[in-house]
Structure 1
Amino acid sequence: MESIKEKLQEYINTGDDKLLKLLYAVAKEYTHNEDELRDDQIAELDMRRERSFSGASKGYNWTEAKKLIIGDKKINEL
């Protein structure tokens, strides 16, 4: 009786690109550590940080954010 690893290896050896990409995606997602940020996520955070420090992006303190969330204020009123 063939083991799962042997069967999977056979699929890999005989599979087309579509199957290989699917198996790769599943394996990558399964082994992905969710506590780590991807490079694109880090780049996005860096960009937002720079925009905030340069003044290109307006930030809100908790009181202002809460008013926006519950609808007591509009952004242009703050």
Structure 2
Amino acid sequence: MRVLYFAWVRQRVGMAEEEVAPPETVRDVAGLIAWLSARSPGHASAFANPRTIRAAVNQDFAGPDHPVAANDEIAFFPPVTGG
């Protein structure tokens, strides 16, 4: 699974992307966030308030209950505002 981080999420995690292999118990975006949070203090900081994080699975916006799979690309980023 390829995980991409953008904006302040990237700054807190300390990397722009990583390849991960979460356990089979990680089945959705919320589960992935919980699992990633335990990987490092930077991950914990980035995902401390999951309500402030948006996600995309394979380049489509996805909610917390959206399923994830081994070959997916998951992107995490702050909410986007227009102007």
- TM category (shorter chain) comes to under 0.3
Larger gyration radius, structure 1 or structure 2: 1
TM-score (normalised: structure 2)? 0.19
Relative contact order higher in (CA < 8 Å, ≥ 6 apart):
2
Q: Tell me the TM-score normalized by structure 1.
A: 0.20
User: Greater share of helix residues, 1 or 2?
Assistant: 1
